[in-house]
Amino acid sequence: MSEIKMYADNLPNIPWQDRPEHSEGPVWRYSENPIIGRNPLKGVARIFNSAVVPYEGKFIGIFRAETTNGVPHLYLGRSEDGIHWTYDSERIPFVNEKGEPFLPRYAYDPRLIKVEDTYYIIWCTDFYGAALGLAKTSDFKTFVRLDNPFLPFNRNGVLFPRKINGNFALLSRPSDSGHTPFGDIFLSESPDLVYWGKHKHVMARSGAQWWQALKIGGGAAPIETSEGWLLFYHGVTGTCNGYVYSMGAAILDINNPSIVKYRSDAFILTPEEWYEERGFVANVVFPCATLHDAKTGKIAIYYGAADSYVGLAFTTLDEIVAFIKEHHVEIGDDTSIGIM
């Protein structure tokens, strides 16, 4: 029996495949990847970087769908098994708090997180440049978009699945108006999702590990465990041939997630398969969600591959925590700013 506990629901129908023989590394891929291929529905060329949750014994997802005019929008999908999906034919009809249409000009990299009885969608939208959009739903029929809760520029936001010390908690990566400068993850708090503050620095990009030297960004909503918050994130390196996105993992302090307890020096997944190395943007693995089962410690990670496909990878709580601890490295910039 594991000594490490996952504080989450049981999910006996989690999509799952045991570790294949001869596989090494903390994470293994689903043998039938990619689970979502090209042209998945009319008017949509590619789905990737998407988020799923368990819902009423099945699964529901918010998908980043690149429409055939090249602009990304969010679509709702449903699945019995978390692997085969059907999608609504139209994009999500967001409304404002008065119930009037409030559609984003573009929308990408959604995360879908249940906090108490409400599901929150956070994504990158247009607000005089890239900024975070936030919406809520309790029935997946009405999607109420909050009134521009964040300033530009920020392309990467992840909510924690419960309030911490009474407040909602958000990981995000502020940046400038260009594509990449600034590359660290920060923590912000809010009592009501309207007013945000108490910002703290969490994790720095790191020149010592080249795979995450350029920028890092939160991935899936952190998983609460007896070791702390387990975070899957992405780390980016710049090569002569463009960016390469890998997957990393860290454990943050449970009561003050701006404190990094452990952080793996090594990536846990990097582009190696054809669907990760070849596509609209080559060499991208980009985690956006996990399904996880508290009883068995099984974790299924959903990740975008090459801005073209959705892949699924697996690990267990014991294996990933052991790996992170074994490869733990202290990165000076994680502790130097913001937590004094």
* Contacts to ligand BMA by CB under 6 A: 49, 108-109, 155, 245, 281, 284, 286, 304, 307
Nearest approach in angstroms of CB 253 to ligand BMA is 28
DSSP string for residues in 95-141: B-TTS-B---S-EEEEEEEEETTEEEEEEEEESSSEEEEEEEESSSS
DSSP string for residues in 163-219: -BTTBEEEEEEE--SSSSS---EEEEEESSSSS-EEEEEEE---TTSGGGSSEEEE-
Residue whose CB is less far from ligand BMA, 251 or 310: 310
Q: Is 76 helix (H, G, I), strand (E, B) or coil?
A: strand
The whole-angstrom separation of Cα 313 and Cα 269 is: 9
Residue whose CB is less far from ligand BMA, 41 or 281: 281
Nearest approach in angstroms of CB 132 to ligand BMA is 13
Nearest approach in angstroms of CB 155 to ligand BMA is 6
**Rg, C-alpha atoms of the chain:** 18
Residue whose CB is less far from ligand BMA, 49 or 209: 49
Nearest approach in angstroms of CB 91 to ligand BMA is 17
Residue whose CB is less far from ligand BMA, 91 or 155: 155
Residue whose CB is less far from ligand BMA, 119 or 286: 286
**Closest to 243 (Cα-Cα) out of 204, 207, 213:** 213
- Edge-to-edge strand list for the sheet holding 72-79: 44-55, 58-67, 72-79, 86-87
The whole-angstrom separation of Cα 27 and Cα 319 is: 8
Tokens (6 digits) for 215: 């920028």
Residue whose CB is less far from ligand BMA, 94 or 245: 245
Cβ contacts of residue 288 below 8 Å, gap of 6+? 49, 50, 51, 109, 110, 111, 219, 220, 302, 303, 304
Give the distance between the most distant pair of CA atoms in the chain: 56
Residue whose CB is less far from ligand BMA, 113 or 310: 310
Nearest approach in angstroms of CB 307 to ligand BMA is 5
Nearest approach in angstroms of CB 49 to ligand BMA is 5
Nearest approach in angstroms of CB 23 to ligand BMA is 25
Chain residue whose CB lies nearest ligand BMA: 281
